[in-house]
Amino acid sequence: MGDRVIMHIDMNAFYASVAQHLDPGLRGKAVAVAGDPERRNGIILAKSREAKACGVKTAEAIWQAKQKCPDLVVVPPDYAAYKRYSRLARMIYYGYTDLVEPFGLDESWIDVTGSLQLFGGDAMLVAREISERVKSEIGLTVSIGVSWNKVFAKLGSDTDPGDGIVPITRENFRDVAWPMAASEMVYVGPATMRKLHSAGYETIGDLAHAGDHFLKRRFGKIGIMLRAFARGEDASPVKAMDPSKADVDYVVKGIGNGLTAPHDLECDSDVKALVWLLSESVAQRLRESRMRCRTVSVGARFARDLSGYSRQRTLRTPTCLARDVANVAMGLLRSNQPIDKEHALRAVHVRVTNLVPMDVPVQCELFGDAEKTERLERLDLAIDALRGRFGNTCVKRAVELTDEVMSGLDIKRDNTIHPVGFLR
């Protein structure tokens, strides 16, 4: 049996390219997608090729970007448009295989092993056809990596400068992949790279030749996995997805949301308003996923020096109620620090993990009120239905209205979609 044929397709400068496609007047200009400076979210989220050529970087402040590129055009994010373009691209991929695995909005793996002969049998020609179709039908360009495994396919697309195809094969991977920095490979983040660097391992080839003792001692089991990745021994499958479900068909392991507040949070009511807004979004997404959570975590960043911390608590009974998530998150914040001007917060995030499906029976607490909990769940589900019809701001809790600026936010709608994990 021959090797698999896997492609990783990455839409180039996705957010900025969508903005340029929607507004032809922006084409050829340096464009950056950024948050709202008035709400202190004024950092660069994405940039066009033209902006990148001027030295604009993701996550830097707008004023810093404009110092490098005075003609920079800054546009707000449009997540509804990003989802639409992402869905259109995937429908093209589904024309070649049913094995399409999204990796965030702008990236997907596809496995064409079983269908390649239907399209001429040449993987490079199929990749070029997909690239041309995305360009002509959607107006965006893609980078495509072609390999026999997912890790090298992604490595190929990541190293393409744009609108190209990079094959990493069994014949060339030692010449193409191994000289690259180990940090270029999936799951080798800054912390892992620091450990590798301290031991003299710099490239993917170095990692491929690392010894068992070092890897197990410094990284545990994940070290052996990373070495297998570097050797091209990744056997993880491209997961078949339902085209109508796309992002929501994964096994969800956690749901979270965070926000930099429009102003410093200097009192209990300020913090409570934001925590409830975040918890409402998280709990609504929990219910949409038909899940309950056992663990609630909260994170905060101080206004004075931008240092931060996170705390978590495991519940006796799993919940999907915004009330429960918010109360636990507030309790964790209050127990960790005074909430006053001296300890003002700039940003807060709320996250739930340790999830269980809603259809799994729940052991009721001996002195709990199961009937009340069931009524509250039905109430929250009814509110979800209203928000689905009339928007997420059609029903609000009084606590969320105590801050005039934050009460106008639709955190769930404007939530950034992050890539799902490679390992599930």
Q: Where are the domains of the chain?
A: 176-230, 250-408
| 78 assigned to a ligand binding site | no
Taking residues 376-400, what's their average pLDDT?
Answer: 80
pTM of the model: 0.69
Q: β-pairing, 107-111 with 100-102?
A: antiparallel
Of 42-56, 84-98, 252-266, 359-373, highest mean pLDDT: 84-98
Alpha-carbon distance 397 to 60, whole Å? 35
Neighbour-count burial of 136, counting CB atoms closer than 10 A to its CB (0-12 exposed, 13-18 middle, 19+ buried): exposed
Report pLDDT digits (tens) over 47-56: 999 999 999 9
Average pLDDT of the segment spanning 325-346: 91
Residue-level pLDDT at 38: 59
Determine which of 76-90, 123-137, 288-302, 372-386 has the lowest per-residue pLDDT on average: 372-386
Catalytic residues: 107
Residue 415 scores a pLDDT above 80: no
Query: Measured between alpha carbons, how far apart are the two ends of the chain, in Å?
Result: 27
Same fold, 176-230 and 250-408: no
Banded pLDDT at 404 (limits 50, 70, 90): low
Indicate if the pLDDT at residue 369 is higher than 80: no
**CATH class belonging to 176-230:** mainly alpha
Each residue's pLDDT tens digit, 219-237: 888 889 999 999 999 999 9
d(C-alpha 305, C-alpha 301), whole Å: 8
In CATH terms, the fold of domain 250-408 is Dna Ligase; domain 1 (3.30.1490)
CA distance 271 to 403: 10
From the CB of residue 203, how many other CB atoms can be counted at a distance below 10 Å?
Answer: 19
122 marked as part of a ligand binding site:
no
